A = this chain, B = another copy of it.
């Protein structure tokens, strides 16, 4: 890899870590430059605008998130085993690499009322995320792990909801009980649709 691409990767990795630990909007060009250890204008030259920087951070986050949660799940067998691994990886993401929020939930909330290119990109990635989850549930049906009669879109919604509900609970109450409630809910979720 060229030096330039390496540098950009370093910047984006640092940016993602910063997003996960301080939220999306608080990653300024100044603060990111400081974190990476270079000058404001030097870093600025990599992106040419704050908006383009945010777009690239989002794309990078999506790539890493996809690889860590869905990519790493491929070693499990199609259907329910893989779905379980996806959820495990997802929940784990809040703890690995110094922990931190789900960057897409943070971005979605922070940019909720700010239409523009960034918000569109967030919607795009969130939709892709939900689609990936939906596909994993489709596979559960295909592999005869889930009943054929289920509406997978609604089942996807339920799973996605308890995943982000879990995140909110984690930040709001004792970690142990948040985890316990989520695990119990997730188990019942599976039982509900299992053959």
Residues of chain A at the chain B interface (Cβ within 8 Å): 21-23, 25, 100-101, 105-106, 108-110, 112-114, 123, 126-127, 130, 151, 153-154, 157-158, 160-162, 164-166, 168-169, 171-173, 181-182, 184-185, 188, 192
The oligomer's copy count stands at: 2
Q: Are B126 and A100 in contact (CB under 8 A)?
A: no
Give the one of A108, A161, A165, A172 with max B CB within 10 A. A161
Residues of B within 8 A of A110 (CB): 23, 25, 106, 109-110
Most buried by B among A151, A153, A158, A182: A158
Assuming A21-B113, A181-B153, is B105 touching A168 (CB within 8 A)?
Answer: yes
Knowing A123-B171, A127-B173 are in contact, say whether A22-B101 is a contact too (CB < 8 A).
Answer: no
